[in-house]
Amino acid sequence: MKISNAFLQAVFILVALIFSVPVSALDFSDIAAEGEIKYLKVRPDPGAYSYESRVKITPASLESGSVEIATCHRQLDPIRKVVIVFNPSRIQAIAIQSLDKMASAEVKGNEVVLTDVERGASICIDLRSKALDKVADGQFKLNAGPLMRRYFDGYLPMAAKLRVDWPTDLLILDKTVPSEKDGIQVVQGNDGVQLDMIFAGKMTAQIFLKKSN
């Protein structure tokens, strides 16, 4: 199975998990259909798959577009083989930091290949990517996604924590898409922003930033 990462403008890894997952604890209303996205105030299946990503922006990133990204996939569902694919025009470095409950994980060019993944497995991967897009003078955008947990022709609930850090007072948050609502929490400060999301569907999020001076 292949997990394709668009990375055309994306910052975070595409999660397309088409595994054999238990859905008996879920209501039909918790599952999103193709082309639909549901924001969930409370996760109906706590302890199931979640994704975390942390992006580090430096002053040099504003010129080069390159950022450091630490990602983790937790509570994976079982599958024999997964291939995580990164866009070669964006990705600059890939390093596996940790793995648990899988036979192996190997970097092959712009891919990470996982084999014999057990239920509850996890993997953390560090990246360097030219992922910060300048959209205007002093204005930048990070795209997250698409993020998803696919199940046959629908999407199961998942949680994603997206954190962006920068030196104090280097940047300010302009807006996020989606904005804060049930299922989307935005926490911001003078040194970063974090989105905590619970949803079912195919999610693409944008974080718009501006230089503070």
89 pLDDT higher than 80: yes
Q: Where are the domains of the chain?
A: 2-20+27-211
At 17-46, the pLDDT tens digits run 434 455 556 777 888 999 899 999 999 888
Distance separating alpha carbons of residues 41 and 33, to the nearest angstrom: 18
Query: Residue range 56-67: average pLDDT?
Result: 96
Distance CA 1, CA 16 (A): 10
Work out the mean pLDDT of the chain and round it to a whole number: 87
User: Which stretches within the chain are classed as H helix?
Assistant: 59-64
To the nearest 10°, report the CA torsion of 53, 80, 46, 176: 30
pLDDT in tens, 166-209: 999 999 999 999 999 999 999 999 999 999 999 999 988 999 99
Q: Hey, which CATH number is domain 2-20+27-211, 2.60.40, 2.40.360, 1.10.12, 3.30.70? A: 2.60.40
